[in-house]
Amino acid sequence: MKRILVLLLIPMILLANIKFDGSVNSNEWSDGEKYELLYETSPSYNTEAEHRTISYVKNDQFFLYVGFQVYGNKDYIRAQVRSRDGIFYTNDHVIFGIDTYGDGRYYVGFGANPLGSILDYKEGSRGEAERSYNVEFEAKSQLTEYGYDVELKIPFSSLNYPDKDINKWKVLFERKLYNKGVESRYSSNKVIAGAGCNICQSQSFYLPGKVSQKSKKRLIPTVTANSNTYRDSNNNLKTDNTNLEFSLNGIYEISKNNFEFTINPDFSQVEADETQIDVNSTTALRYPERRIFFNEGADFLNTDSSAVYTRAINSPNYALKIYNRGDKHSYYFLDAEDEITPLIIPGDQRSYSATLGKSHANIFSYQYNIDNGQYVSFLSTNRSYEEGGNGFLYLSRGLFLLDEKYALRFELAESQTEEPISDLIATDDRSDDHNYRLDGEKFDGYSGMLALSRSTENWFTYLWIGTKSPNFRTDLGFTTENNWKANNLRHEYRFRSNGLIRSGEIGISAKLIDNYDNVLLQQEYELNGEINLSNQFEFRGGFKNNKKLFFEGNSFSNLTNINFSTTYSPSGNFYIRAGINDGESIARRIAKPVVGDSFNYNISSRYQFTDEFNVRIQYRYQELVDPITKDDYFAGYISSIRGTYQFDSNSRLRVIHEYNDFNNDSYTQALFQWQPDSATIFYIGGTFNQTDIEGTWQREGSQIYMKLQYLFNFD
């Protein structure tokens, strides 16, 4: 019987005979599977879609082809030429999502806008989208008299799927549009709150037949060159010789086991991170991971306790990973030797950091996949240091759907620490059991989390209980504070309508945090709400009261804050966002913390002058003043202006200028980027740094850099 079914499916594995030009001709696609996007899921709740959207899927032996015919709303289409993943916001687009295992562990989304600019992402069972995820595929689009067409061409080697003679893959289709100016979303399936992940609820499937088991075989060599200018100890500008580096990445797949390596990788951050304001922070700041090597497999490492933060692997001589996405059993293993090791030491309401020498890192993750996104998982990490010592972590986690409304999530972890020996952290601070210096102490810690949620069309309730013991650390993760036990309860009411107010929500929450000496650290109550109007205005506001707040031996009470923000996007060419926060905050970076009057506001806006050229401006201001003397504990702002010219969907030129009033310095960065596929990237640019010294701008240094990374695809 199995052999007969394979023979019946032979016609489906012949060439698909698609003229890949962005025009979805009904005759050309007549032998493909046909799907329609029948439901509006936002802002309405699974109502009938006003405009028609038809999708087709077909395949040959090596490629999956998807076509979209997008009807209606032609006068309101928003589309610009954008770089990869730049069309998530303020652009019409269509998305094809596919879950080849059908159990909801994750799905991959492929999309394009009416001008052929693309997006891709991976979304896990909890709805967390990894937008840095990039894979190989092509897209072409055309504007039509009825709207627009999109064609996608996806190599099977870009997908992970079971090795079966008969495949049955779960699929979904989505459309984002501005229906008469109102941001809306259509879907091929109803999306029921509380019924599991989006792809879990899809009732659409595609049977590709017996597809080629073509394995990934890729090499990605990289050459980088940079030259730095800086001030030496005599305050003279000095320029280093040009530094030229070569590195090699490789990907090889055999029997669904994926092996990926990198030798002498260039893990430098070419594009500048958006500067975060940390003038009143006592803990380290977290930045997103953008490096390609850590793209695939990131879903294995996501935990509530931030047990893994891959940017902690900073400058490895080599790194390799092996992963397999089996039908029920999946695993991931990473090994790396780091030349420069950043280390965060969590403490009681603050963190300490040091940059050590060499270290060796290992990560292992195993996951048992159930269905509808449910799973049980085990994770372990180890980092050993050249200075001596190591940090182990063991973690288990799981997600279960109790019924159509209730979901349960848990996480338990144990850490075992033997500190390296170094004088890079000089502090007399200590916990009850040990100090925070790196002096070879040994201790164990633990963390735990339990979350229960109830979700319906209008109501959402969430109970979260968690803890990190005083000795808990994550040497390969991002733990900035320990010694706390937290309880958080939130209740929301959500509503939708067809009038001026299209959707909104109002919620109340309560938070209680104690330490392990049973001292109440925080007792907080919050009321907030959100309203989305049909004229593209969005309003958010909230009131927060910290009934009790304890910080480093000092107790405070009845600190209040009011916040309000708005977003307005009347067209695809313009948006503006503004927010304000007024109330009371603790001045945390003075000898004796006190409460001051806090006032923060921010504004950002972007204008699209042409389909290719846009300018974005941003201004963020924060101040904290003595309520009696009106003296500033701190006051300042960060302003930036960014201009981007998008030559086409593969190449762009961007210029950024940022001024930091807190530090009295600025930088200007010019960067040309060419990215024709997921891994081929060419950068050339420079950064120029200045400091304001008593009203006179002085050049502090500069960097000129070039990077060429090229994908050789032998699939």
CATH number at residue 82: 2.60.40.1190
Region label for 701, one of left (φ > 0), alpha (ψ between -120 and 50) or beta (otherwise): left
Asked if the structure places residue 288 within a domain, the reply is no
pLDDT digits (tens, 9 = 90+) for 178-207: 998 889 999 999 998 877 788 889 999 999
Give the chain's mean pLDDT.
Answer: 89
Q: Decide if 275 is inside a domain.
A: no
Quote the DSSP letter at residue 207. -
Whether residue 106 is predicted with pLDDT greater than 90 in this model: the reply is no
Q: Are 558 and 665 in a shared domain?
A: yes
- Report d(CA 447, CA 451) in Å as an integer: 14
251, 273 in Cβ contact below 8 A? no
* Same domain? 312 vs 173: no
Q: Which residues contact 81 (CB under 8 A, 6 or more apart)?
A: 115, 117, 611, 612, 646, 648, 649
Distance CA 433, CA 471 (A): 8
Q: Point out the domain boundary residue: 166, 183, 206.
A: 206
Please tell me the predicted confidence (pLDDT) of residue 9.
Answer: 43
Predicted pLDDT of residue 287: 65
pLDDT at 392 over 80: yes
> Tens of pLDDT along 335-383?
999 999 999 999 888 889 989 999 999 999 999 999 888 999 999 999 9
Q: How far apart, in Å, do the first and last CA atoms of the chain sit? A: 32
DSSP per residue over 618-645, as a string? EEEEEEEE-TTT--EEEEEEEEEEEEEE
User: Which residue range(s) make up the domain with 47?
Assistant: 2-206
- What's the pLDDT tens digit per position in 478-498? 999 999 999 999 999 999 888
pLDDT at 540 over 90: yes
Domain count, the chain: 2
Q: Are residues 197 and 345 in the same domain?
A: no
Does any domain span residue 22?
yes
Q: Mean pLDDT, to the nearest integer, of 110-124?
A: 93
Q: For residues 560 and 261, what is the distance between their CA atoms, to the nearest angstrom?
A: 51
Instruction: Give the model's pLDDT for residue 589.
Output: 84
Which two tokens mark 285? 């700041």
Residues written for the chain:
715
Q: Is residue 267 part of a domain?
A: no
Element (H, E) at 455: strand 442-455
Residues 202 and 319 in one domain: no
Q: Is residue 220 part of a domain?
A: no
- Any domain includes 196: yes
Average the pLDDT over 117-134 and give the result. 84
Q: Which of the pair, 296 or 99, is modelled with greater confidence?
A: 99
HSE-CB for 164 with a 13 A CA cutoff: 16
- Helices (H), strands (E): how many in the chain? 1, 44
What's the one-letter identity of residue 236?
A: N
Q: Tell me: do 584 and 694 sit in the same domain.
A: yes
Tell me, yes or no, whether 518 and 625 share the same domain. yes
Residue 223 lies in a domain: no
pLDDT digit string, tens, across residues 654-663: 999 999 999 8
From CA 153, how far away is CA 119, in angstroms rounded? Answer: 13
Cα(577)–Cα(538) distance, integer angstroms: 9
Residue 236 binned pLDDT confidence (cut-offs 50, 70, 90): confident
Share of the chain above pLDDT 90, in %: 60
> Does one domain contain both 37 and 151?
yes
Token pair belonging to 657: 């200028």
Same domain, 491 and 635: yes
Q: Say if CB 140 and CB 149 are below 8 A apart.
A: no
Q: What angle do CA 617, 619, 621 make, to 5 degrees?
A: 175
Domain boundary among 149, 179, 206: 206
pLDDT of residue 448: 97
Over residues 2-31, the pLDDT tens digits come to 444 443 344 444 455 778 999 998 888 989
Instruction: Say which CATH number the domain at 312 has.
Output: 2.40.170
The last residue of one of the domains, among 182, 206, 230, is 206
Q: How far apart are CA 521 and CA 364, in angstroms?
A: 35
Is the link from the previous residue into 43 a cis peptide, with omega within 30 of 0? yes
3-state secondary structure of 211: coil
Q: Give the model's pLDDT for residue 270.
A: 60
Cα(593)–Cα(633) distance, integer angstroms: 11
What is the C-alpha separation between 673 and 656, in angstroms, rounded?
14
| Average pLDDT, integer, range 272-284 | 59
Q: Is residue 236 part of a domain?
A: no
